Amino acid sequence: MKSSTTTFEPRTRHDGLPHQNPWIIPAWSVLLSVLTMWPFWTALTTEDMTNKAFALRDMFIPARVTANSITMGATEAAPRAVPQDTMLAILSPAIPASTIAAFVMVFSAALGAFAAAKMVQTMAGGRLIAQFTASLLTVWNPYVVERLLQGHWSLVAAAVLLPAVAYFAASRLWGMLLVTMAFCAMTPTGLVLAAIISLIFLPKWSERGWIAFASLLMGSPWIIASVVNARSVGGTLVDSASAEVFAPRAEFNTGTLGALLSFGGIWNAEAAAPSRIALSEIFGIALVSILLLGIRELWRVYRGLTLLTIAAFLIPAFLSTEIGIEVMGWLISTVPGSGLLRDSQKFVALAFPGMVLLIGVVVERMDYRRDRSPSFFLEPEAEKASTSARWLQRGVGVLLCVLIIGNVPGLPKDVAPVAPRSVSPVWEQISNSVSAAPRGKVLLLPPGNYRLHGEYPVIDPALKLLPGTPLDPGYLVVDNRIVDGDKTSMELLREIMQGRDTLQENGVGWVLIDWGSVSPRLDMSRAVKALNEGGYQRTLDIENYSLYRIPNPNLDDEHITDVPVRIGIGMYWFAATIGFWLAIWALYAAWARYPNWWRWRYLSGRTPAPNPERVSGDQP
């Protein structure tokens, strides 16, 4: 038998340039994930997270999420926490929910940054500096900081994954596309964002149809629950006044459009990045202005993406005007489910894939020796570019990186409030008490669904920790006027605060008072008097909490079930599982094609050349 050896030859890209070390971009992506998502990395490296949780505004993720009516979507209100809280409640008995959320965040940031670099490399012919810049923009921007500080962790995961959705869709890597969309689908908005991007990058209508069908499967948990529960209870309270509350917000002196162009402008000023100043917003506007120089090139290849990128800035800006607020107010008060569009600033994330490609276009266009063809792809003549042109490209790339960092200069420190915090151990005692008889709803006092945890407001922990049916009023106060909210919960709160006891007849089995969240201006005397005169037993009085037991509650009105969400979760997992096995099959096929991929000389930029003896057909 003749001996056969494998020789290696230099690996080159499609543009004729030497292939870069494949470890560089993955390492850079992980580094960016560590810098921007370090609170979640901290959770992964903490030995014991049992008594800790991610607690900030709309986010409360303890180690164990209880499967109650809120997390399972069995409420009269819109299932806003579905499917993210549903999956955390199902999986947390085996894996801590905080660990799951932390893994999702660090994985999403790393994959999104890596995919952004791959988009620039394969779709815009970008060199290493352009890839570095695109990865940086994906995770280092005010949008990520503001949404994390607001507690929208799953939305941030979906936003940074949009370049991955675009790359996998354009590459037709169906398994990875479905898996990535499954991560995005943990929140309804994330699924909408991912579906739009995937449809933009898929060229064939048949492929778009299959992805649209997969999107419906992944959205089944909240779609089915919304339809079934809306038919059961006749809908929920919707007020057009909330359109003004959630409209994008102007920052400094550049107006709302300036804030949006710099990827900021969230409706809640308290969630803005602390390090952002007027100069930061100018940096952001300058960044976008430079990138828009490549809009003509983007239009030649991806017209749909170009329109989407522009619309991602202009439509939210319009919806912040008086006319736009009126349009949104009419929409959310007349069209079921349109409340998903109310917070329009979050749709700025749709511009991420377009901005990533614009980075590649602008940086590569700095090579004045390059053939000015109407294509993104470089010609082989690019390898003859002069040294000065290469340095010009690098200089522009560094300038863009400076503008990106200057847009939110204190990012690692700005997300410090997201870090895990201690959770009072009394919640275990409260949960054990509520788990006992009698059954019934849990009324939470004082009115409102936020509690003060340190110096920051946090969604009431009882909504995620207590079993049964904790009541979430879910309302907003706008100009001393209550908008939105759950009708049943709000009516119960109104009556008990006025001293009227209608608890038993409305199915309330427990009343929990958080005295630490009672403001000095709030009068709780009539509510306490009604509880005492009713002869209700105070079963717990620990730290700042008082728990009252309401015997023999009326349970006849329990007509909301979690069956729709469970059916929807099954459909979600079906689509995600198909994607997982398709991804595994693709990895196996790649391994079979390149069995020596793990060798350092291959990873360092050389590929095995065909063996001449085997090619000629010689046999032993």
Q: Is the pLDDT of residue 497 over 70?
A: yes
- Residue 415 CA to residue 394 CA, distance in Å, equals 30
- Residue 18 CA to residue 338 CA, distance in Å, equals 50
Which DSSP state fits 447?
Answer: S
Top-confidence range, 322-336, 427-441, 581-595:
322-336
Is 412 buried (19+), middle (13-18) or exposed (0-12) by CB count in 10 A? middle
90/591: higher pLDDT: 90
pLDDT at 277: 87
- Cβ atoms within 10 A of the Cβ of 394, count? 16
pLDDT at 392: 82
- Residue 64 CA to residue 59 CA, distance in Å, equals 14
pLDDT at 335: 83
Is the alpha carbon torsion for 100, 464, 73, 222 positive or negative? negative
30: part of which helix (H) or strand (E)?
A: helix 24-36
- Residue 194 CA to residue 185 CA, distance in Å, equals 8
- Cβ atoms within 10 A of the Cβ of 259, count? 28
503/478: higher pLDDT: 503
CA trace torsion 183, 184, 188, 194 (10° rounding): -150
Q: 24-36 and 128-139 are packed helices; what angle lies between their axes, rounded to 10 degrees?
A: 20
Cα three-residue angle 383-604-384, rounded to 5 degrees: 5
CA distances, 393 to each of 206, 214, 595 (Å): 40, 41, 37
Q: Name every residue whose Cβ is closer than 8 Å to that of residue 233 and which is 6 or more positions away in sequence.
A: 76, 559, 560
Q: What is the mean pLDDT of the chain?
A: 86
CA distances, 210 to each of 130, 182, 198, 595 (Å): 33, 15, 11, 32
Q: Is the pLDDT of residue 473 over 70?
A: yes
- Residue 336 CA to residue 512 CA, distance in Å, equals 33
pLDDT band of 476, cuts 50, 70, 90: confident
214/14: higher pLDDT: 214
Question: Both tokens of residue 225?
Answer: 């629950």
- Is there a contact between 149 and 271 (Cβ–Cβ < 8 Å)? yes
Question: Both tokens of residue 254?
Answer: 């550049």
Q: What is the pLDDT of residues 194-252, one digit of tens each?
A: 999 999 999 999 999 999 999 999 999 999 988 887 654 445 446 788 898 899 999 88
Q: How far apart, in Å, do the first and last CA atoms of the chain sit? A: 4
Q: What is the pLDDT of residues 342-388, one digit of tens each?
A: 999 999 999 999 999 999 999 988 765 454 444 443 444 444 445 56
Q: Is the pLDDT of residue 29 over 50?
A: yes
Look at 175-189, 235-249, 502-516 and tell me which has the smallest mean pLDDT: 235-249
Burial code (b: 16+ CB inside 10 Å, e: under 16) for 179-211 equals: bbbbbbbbbbbbbbbbbbbbbbbbeeeebbeeb
Tell me if residue 493 falls in helix, strand or coil: helix
Q: Name every residue whose Cβ is closer than 8 Å to that of residue 498 and which is 6 or more positions away in sequence.
A: 526
- Residue 404 CA to residue 388 CA, distance in Å, equals 24
pLDDT band of 489, cuts 50, 70, 90: confident
Cis peptide before 438 (omega within 30 of 0): yes
Q: If you average pLDDT over residues 293-306, what whole number do you get?
A: 93
Q: If you average pLDDT over residues 62-79, what whole number do you get?
A: 88
pLDDT at 620: 40
Question: Both tokens of residue 433?
Answer: 């008490």
Q: If you average pLDDT over residues 407-420, what whole number do you get?
A: 95
pLDDT at 562: 84
Owner of token pair 């923009």: 137
Look at 226-235, 495-504, 597-606 and tell me which has the smallest mean pLDDT: 597-606
Q: What percent of the chain has pLDDT over 70?
A: 86
Owner of token pair 């976008």: 288
Tell me if residue 441 falls in helix, strand or coil: strand
pLDDT band of 12, cuts 50, 70, 90: very low
Q: Helix/strand/coil (H, E, C) string of 469-489? A: EECCCCEEEECCEEEECCHHH
Q: Is the pLDDT of residue 8 over 50?
A: no
pLDDT at 16: 46
Q: Is the pLDDT of residue 13 over 50?
A: no
- Residue 391 CA to residue 376 CA, distance in Å, equals 20
DSSP code string of 504-545: GGGTEEEEEEEGGG--TT---HHHHHHHHHTT-EEEEEETTE
**Smallest Cα–Cα separation from 160: which of 171, 173, 144, 149?**
144
593: part of which helix (H) or strand (E)?
A: helix 563-593
In whole angstroms, what separates CA 278 from the centre of its chain? 27
- Is there a contact between 264 and 146 (Cβ–Cβ < 8 Å)? yes
